[in-house]
Structure 1
Amino acid sequence: MRRITLTEVGDRAGVSRSTASLVLRGSSKISKETARRVREAMDELGYVYDRSAANLRHARSMTLGLVMNDLRNPFLADLAVVFERSVRRAGYTVFIGYSGDDLGDQQQMLSAMVEHRIDGCLLMPAAGTERESLKVLGSHEIPSVLFARHLGGAEPYIGPDNVEAGRLLGRHLRTIGVKEAVFLGGPSPSSARAERLAGLREGFDGRVELVDGGLTDSTVSSDSGSKAVSRLLGDGTIPDCIVAYNDIIAVGVTYELRLRGFEPGSDVAVASFDDIWIASQQVPPLTSVSTHAEEVGLACAEELLAQIDEPRQNGQKLIAPSLQVRASTGSWRPRKEDR
């Protein structure tokens, strides 16, 4: 006789396979009514729980996957160090892969990690990732947590509050008298870039013109910041302020401004996000919104370990940012014609 599957039970009860599985495990996250429907469906279909097979499936390898776009970004490096150290204390070894924001590479790495029977995966989705591509994890019941970028759904996610980060910076720039700001850099499409832009608009409150200066290429590097400024000034645009997607891009922004005869911080205000260690060491020191990589890394570790113990869909946490005002905006004054 053909064995009834848990997927069929979920279909009969009108729930997902993972929900039916949680009912079997007695999860407190499932409502009594849902649990009742699932158990009724089991009785109706004659489902028999194969405990020996389940034990084999859920035997832990004590390994985790970590997939991000580029470890050379100091924000991600700091985050990864804290995450790895935290889960290592819980007995786990981490396999790390880098997508370079290439969807094909990301899929290949996820498949390879599944083959190595990882117990969970922390994933920074490559730009343009669609939810369908993550099924390689779900189909093997591997818990996953997204970080730094999300897909706009209910998937477990940990990251900075990018909207608030943009809002804080926007209010500051509006207060010092900025009338026009250009936003440069960042991967597109990505939730982090879209949210930082949205927060800036809220902070500007309609009193500062915000121009999306876009990208010159897909990389998040100082070189891309330099190229973006070259294009911007080549069009004859000299804004009050340039807001970089992150501090790495801001380094290229300040370099190119000087190369073209403009002094960052006095001729053009410059600001950015993440507040990595190089921000305070720039000349002038860079105004940046700290997105607290170490706090994000610790929260990622805690959430992924919790998901492994008891999968759920509501594990989302945003880390509050903080604004660090320095001379790159603090020394700027409106041009005489703007006064």
Structure 2
Amino acid sequence: MPSEDRKKNRVTLLDVARHAGVSRATASLVIRKSPLVGAETRMRVEEAMRELGYVYNMGAARLRAERSHTVGVIVPNLTNPFFAELLSGIEAVVDSAGMVVIVANSGDSVERQDRLMRRMREHGVDGVILCAAAGTGPGFLHQLTEHSLPLVQVLRHISDDIDYAGVDYAGGMRQAVDHLASLGHRAIAFAVHGPVHSAYRERVEGFRDAMRSCGLNPDMIVRLPNQIREIAAAAHLLFDGAKQPTAVVCFNDVIALGLAAGLYDRGLRVGENFSLVGFDDVTDAEAMRPRLTSVFTAPVAIGENAARLLLDRLADPSCQPRRVVKEPQLHIRQSCGPVAAPVS
């Protein structure tokens, strides 16, 4: 049989995992006799190996044994509670595989990100999960894969050729706008901040599409500062235009918390004569009163998905790139109410 045909017909670890109904990472743990795998799962994987005729490649295993058992994670902002939740999901999965996480903050700087990535490679990390800095181009990611560094994109999507774990931002915006429209709101603003990247564009485009679908003006987009204290002081920007909004959807919960304070200072009562919707539904948002209606994006689950993608990539470097996009869910609480009289 020609070598190409043998390669095509060879049973892979991915085949075993699919047959057993587990991830590649779990199948790999079974092969390495890890105590982290339950007896029932181990028996199922071993049975799949026997049925498919899987042969363990000891040579490749020796190469894998030379790994550092560390995973690099680079995020743009460690002060945002969303990223703390994302990291907890990543760490839980990586830790279960007997590995550790090295975390770095790019500060949304392409130059700093480049330096951090070089240091990650110098320290011999087995792979990297990257929430790319704004302005990162596909060439940067492809260069890393050419250097045989396994890579997963998280939250911000740059290339279809590389694994990605994220959330359906547009779907979340649609839920938020539809909810406000159902309450009678016609003048709905969208409060944004921060640099422009794929997640920013997807949220903005998602808001505009959702507004158009409801027959509403999609252009009331207001840019605010980055810090909560500055956001509170800039709440007046919502009302500086010719059209006065009765509700606002926020780019994230950081903006929502800042605006809640700023709206209070203006004498507005959130949930009564002005409606406010956050995005991400991080744990810290629970501290707000009235309780914040927010689009839950499940950052912990996204982190878990990113980590599993990377472990699968380490187990089978030749597998096709995958995209795992989580569906968000609007959590309705107290910060939205029926439309009140126009704000004067």
1:200 deviates by 2.6
From the superposition, tell whether residues 116 and 246 of structure 1 become closer, same or farther in structure 2 (CA, over 3 Å). same
Unmatched 5+ stretches in structure 1: 1-19, 30-51
1:3 counterpart residue number: none
1:110 deviates by 0.6
Task: State the Cα RMSD in Å.
Answer: 3.0
Q: In the alignment, does 2:301 pair up with 1:301?
A: no
1:168 deviates by 1.1
1:88 deviates by 1.4
Q: Map residues 270-281 of structure 1 onto 2, 5 A cutoff.
A: 270-281=276-287
- Relative to the length of structure 1, the TM-score reads 0.77
1:111 counterpart residue number: 118
Q: Deviations over 1:284-309 (max 9, x none)?
A: 11110100112111111111100111
Match of 1:225 among 213, 222, 231: 231
1:62 counterpart residue number: 69
Match of 1:139 among 146, 152, 169: 146
Higher relative contact order (CA closer than 8 Å, sequence separation 6+): 2
**Partner Cα separation in structure 2 for residue 162 and residue 58 of structure 1:** 39
Q: In the alignment, does 2:234 pair up with 1:201?
A: no
Q: Deviations over 1:120-161 (max 9, x none)?
A: 100001112111222452232011101111115332110111
**Partner Cα separation in structure 2 for residue 199 and residue 216 of structure 1:** 19
Q: Map residues 235-314 of structure 1 onto 2, 5 A cutoff.
A: 235=241, 238-311=244-317, 312-314=319-321
Q: Deviations over 1:259-283 (max 9, x none)?
A: 1222222222111111112333312
**Partner Cα separation in structure 1 for residue 117 and residue 292 of structure 2:** 37
Unmatched 5+ stretches in structure 2: 14-58
Paired letter, 1:207 = G
Q: In the alignment, does 2:89 pair up with 1:82?
A: yes
Give the number of aligned pairs. 293
**Partner Cα separation in structure 1 for residue 119 and residue 11 of structure 2:** 30
Q: Which moved more, 1:296-305 or 1:228-237?
A: 228-237
| Aligned partner of residue 87 in structure 2, secondary structure | helix
**Partner Cα separation in structure 1 for residue 116 and residue 135 of structure 2:** 16
1:150 counterpart residue number: 157
From the superposition, tell whether residues 288 and 92 of structure 1 become closer, same or farther in structure 2 (CA, over 3 Å). same
Q: Deviations over 1:94-135 (max 9, x none)?
A: 111001111111111011101111111000011121112224
| Aligned partner of residue 330 in structure 2, secondary structure | strand
1:173 deviates by 1.2
Q: In the alignment, does 2:171 pair up with 1:164?
A: yes
Contact 1:184-1:228 at 8 Å conserved across structures: no
Consecutive aligned runs of 4 or more in structure 1 exceeding 4 Å deviation? 26-29, 52-58, 234-237
From the superposition, tell whether residues 165 and 152 of structure 1 become closer, same or farther in structure 2 (CA, over 3 Å). farther
1:81 deviates by 1.3
2:184 counterpart residue number: 177
1:4 counterpart residue number: none
1:241 deviates by 1.0
**Partner Cα separation in structure 2 for residue 134 and residue 215 of structure 1:** 30
Give identity over the alignment, percent.
Answer: 30
2:221 counterpart residue number: 213
1:322 counterpart residue number: 329
Contact 2:281-2:294 at 8 Å conserved across structures: yes
1:121 counterpart residue number: 128
